[in-house]
């Protein structure tokens, strides 16, 4: 395959890990594409990147480069008004084979779609669960207006609509995508199912969790869409059957920390609910290994990276039927249940009471990651999509690039 020039555009990027899975996923995609010899550039804003990284110039990282445009005050919240991305887009697009837009309902996409048309560059549109009916009901009037004014045209004019699942394909078609536009390519798992993970006991000791206590882990943003209220209610029922059980809730707070804490206090289980904040590095890996079950009772997901990571760690998973991962069932890597406390509690009791089944589910999860979600396979499929869109012409370096500063 010939080297391609690929530009990714989205309103936030690494190190803005507060924004969750899309940032982690794209960081890995860009690195691996660059490793394969492609010219990769990311255009984004400086939301949540801290004071140290330079703005308004190219920053080199892991073989690709990033332009952090300054986000004005109006750009701090959706739709992330970002007039500063116009300069780097016009700098890059004349030498670009494919532009890739991630997320929906952003000003970034409005600007990028117009500049791509002006420069004759095909673009890929990836909604990443933003077209899920549950999410469309949030800030409904704003999204209805944005859809009518901008989003349907952005979808319609895309050279390809990249979706993570068949369910997401149906959601995109309902919003104006043609079925033949859509290409299903799942997220890749950022962890190798054959890697050596840190000992889970280090995590238990760090947070005073008894070595043999059944441990349920949630790892993600503490946001109401994650269904934490359902998980906490279900855990209270589990404690009636297994009084030693512990629930660990890890991740950045997006408004639910106090809600969960008050709920656990009201249910009389606060001493068994550990709100530990964000986890990184080896501590995050140790948490995945320490858990007996990873639980995600979300109301809406595109394809949750944390579930794939738990499977790579050999930890059985219990997920809601809104998580769009039917492979959990087909590979017998865990349980898929409705978003109801009774259903979640029943599944937790059933799984935790059967140690041989726990071990079997863990091994099945590792096999699932190897066979369906290895990043090498995902990158192969992205490359083929980009190559088909780029056509036979050779790419050229983007003209007028300023000096690059290392991150």
Beta pairing partners, 249: 218, 275
Verify that 219 and 233 share a domain, yes or no: yes
Q: What's the confidence (pLDDT) of residue 392?
A: 67
Cα–Cα distance for residue pair 395/373, rounded to 1 Å: 29
Residue 343 shares a structural domain with residue 273: yes
What's the pLDDT at 393?
A: 55
Check residue 407 and give its pLDDT: 44
Q: Do residue 379 and residue 368 come from a single domain?
A: no
144 and 19 belong to one structural domain: yes
- Spell out the alpha helix ranges (H) of 55-199: 86-92, 107-119, 133-136, 140-146, 152-157, 166-174
In a domain, 126, yes or no: yes
Helices 228-241 and 257-266: angle between axes, nearest 10 degrees:
30
Q: Please state, in angstroms and as integers, the Cα–Cα distance from residue 9 to each residue in 13, 26, 33, 85, 407, following that order.
A: 9, 10, 15, 9, 19
CA quadruple 95, 101, 102, 108: dihedral positive or negative? positive
Q: Where are the alpha helices (DSSP H) in 93-192?
A: 107-119, 133-136, 140-146, 152-157, 166-174
Q: Which domain holds residue 219?
A: 200-372
Is the CA virtual torsion 265, 268, 273, 274 positive or negative? positive
Residues 35 and 60 in one domain: yes
> What is the per-residue pLDDT for 396?
43
**Token representation of residue 318:** 């219990």
Domain membership flag for residue 49: yes
Whether residue 132 is found in the same domain as residue 241: no
List the CATH number of the domain containing 216.
3.40.50.2000
Do 129 and 249 share a domain, yes or no?
no
Position 15 scores a pLDDT of 94
N-term to C-term CA, the chain: 29
Q: Which structure tokens are listed for 141?
A: 């009037």
Tens-place pLDDT, residues 247-267: 999 999 999 999 999 999 999
pLDDT tens for each residue of the chain, 407 residues long: 799 999 999 999 999 988 878 898 999 999 999 999 999 999 999 999 999 999 999 999 999 999 999 999 888 888 999 999 999 999 999 999 999 999 999 999 999 999 999 999 999 999 998 999 989 998 999 999 999 999 999 999 999 999 999 999 999 999 999 999 999 999 999 899 999 999 999 999 999 999 999 999 999 999 999 999 999 999 999 999 999 999 999 999 999 999 999 999 999 999 999 999 999 899 999 999 999 999 999 998 888 899 999 999 999 999 999 998 999 999 999 999 999 999 999 999 999 999 999 999 999 999 999 999 999 999 999 999 999 999 765 444 443 343 344 44
Q: Are residues 57 and 115 in the same domain?
A: yes
Domain count, the chain: 2
């Amino acid at each position: 395959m010939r080297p391609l020039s690929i530009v990714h555009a989205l309103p936030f990027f690494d190190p803005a890990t507060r924004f969750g899975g899309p940032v982690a996923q794209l960081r890995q995609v860009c690195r691996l594409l660059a490793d394969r010899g492609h010219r990769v550039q990311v255009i984004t804003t400086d939301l949540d990147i801290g004071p140290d990284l330079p703005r308004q110039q190219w920053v080199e990282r892991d073989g690709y480069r990033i332009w952090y445009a300054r986000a004005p005050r109006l750009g701090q919240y959706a739709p992330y008004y970002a007039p500063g991305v116009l300069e780097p887009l016009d700098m890059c697009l004349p030498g670009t084979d494919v532009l890739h837009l991630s997320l929906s309902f952003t000003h970034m996409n409005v600007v990028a779609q117009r500049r791509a048309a002006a420069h004759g560059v095909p673009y890929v549109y990836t909604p990443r669960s933003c077209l899920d009916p549950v999410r469309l009901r949030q800030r409904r009037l704003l999204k209805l207006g944005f859809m009518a004014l901008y989003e349907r045209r952005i979808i319609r004019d895309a050279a390809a609509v990249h979706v993570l699942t068949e369910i997401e394909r149906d959601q995109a078609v309902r919003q104006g995508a043609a079925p033949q536009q859509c290409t299903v390519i799942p997220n890749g798992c950022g962890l190798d199912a054959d890697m050596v993970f840190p000992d889970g006991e280090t995590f238990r000791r760090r947070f005073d969790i008894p070595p043999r206590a059944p441990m349920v882990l949630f790892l993600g943003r503490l946001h109401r869409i994650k269904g934490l209220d359902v998980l906490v209610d279900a855990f209270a029922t589990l404690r009636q059957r297994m009084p030693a059980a512990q629930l660990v809730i890890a991740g950045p707070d997006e408004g639910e920390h106090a809600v969960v804490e008050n709920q656990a206090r009201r249910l009389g289980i606060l001493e068994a609910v550990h709100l530990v904040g964000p986890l990184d590095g080896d501590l995050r890996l140790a948490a995945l290994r320490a858990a007996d079950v990873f639980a995600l009772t979300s109301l809406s997901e595109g394809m949750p990276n944390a579930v794939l990571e738990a499977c790579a760690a050999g930890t059985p998973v219990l997920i809601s039927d809104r998580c769009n991962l039917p492979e959990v069932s087909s590979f017998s890597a865990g349980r898929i249940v409705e978003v109801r406390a009774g259903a979640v509690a029943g599944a937790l009791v059933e799984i935790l009471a059967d140690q041989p089944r726990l071990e079997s589910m863990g091994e099945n999860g590792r096999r699932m990651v190897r066979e369906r979600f290895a990043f090498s396979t995902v990158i192969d499929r992205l490359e083929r999509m980009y190559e088909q869109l780029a056509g036979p012409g050779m790419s050229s370096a983007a003209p007028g690039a300023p000096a690059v500063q290392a991150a």
